[in-house]
Structure 1
Amino acid sequence: MTTPVYSEWWVKRINNNILGLILEDSQSIEEHLRVVPSELEIIKQDFERRNAELEKKIE
């Protein structure tokens, strides 16, 4: 069982933490949800780009 003073303090503490996180974080939701490519994916994309360039030179 908690006292009303403690309960009020707890609610303010939680709300203050949430507010602080929102204000500190200036990135949009889309930026948070963007998938960062893995190192393997980056290497694969680079390989495909170079392969396409070589194919153009051969033609």
Structure 2
Amino acid sequence: MKPDSPMKRLVVSPMTTPEYNDWWVRRINDNIPKPSHENSQPIEEHLRLVPSKLEIIKQDFERRNAELEKKIEQIEEEKMNLRLDADVQKLEEERLRKGKTKA
């Protein structure tokens, strides 16, 4: 091997042993948190369970839209009932006029 080669060299001092080097590597790696696979789920499943902001806004819009449609139906029903009441009152008024003219 050439002295200028790009390979890293392990310098072992008189105080380091292979056991120490193994311990050192494990110690460094032990500090890296590892994901727990006990109750984990694939990322696709997780993304399906957590709705995006757009999905939340869409659901809110659909809910409000449904509420407004119900209100519109109620108002239209009230409007129809009021028209019927007005027609009945007109007919009653006409009947009373005809009754007065005969009398």
* Distance in 2 separating the partners of 1:15 and 1:33: 29
Please state how far the C-alpha of 1:34 moved relative to its aligned partner.
7.8
Alignment gaps of 5+ in structure 1: 23-31
Distance 1:17 1:43, change over 3 A: same
After TM superposition, the structure 1 = structure 2 runs for residues 1-59 of structure 1, keeping only pairs within 5 Å, are 3-18=18-33, 35-59=49-73
Pick closer, same or farther for the CA change 1:43–1:58 going to 2, 3 Å. Answer: same
Q: Which 5+ residue runs of structure 2 have no aligned equivalent?
A: 1-17, 37-45, 74-103
Percent pairwise identity? 60
- TM-score, L = length of structure 1: 0.51
Deviations along 1:23-56, whole A, 9 cap, x unmatched? xxxxxxxxx7784322321221111011111122
In the alignment of these two chains, the number of paired residues is 47
| Structure 1 moving runs of 4+ over 6 Å | none
Question: Do the aligned partners of residues 38 and 53 (structure 1) sit closer, same or farther apart at CA in structure 2, a change above 3 Å counting?
Answer: same
- Give the TM-score taking structure 2 as reference length: 0.34
Structure with greater Cα Rg: 2
* Aligned residues: CA RMSD: 3.0
The residue type paired with residue 8 of structure 1 is: W
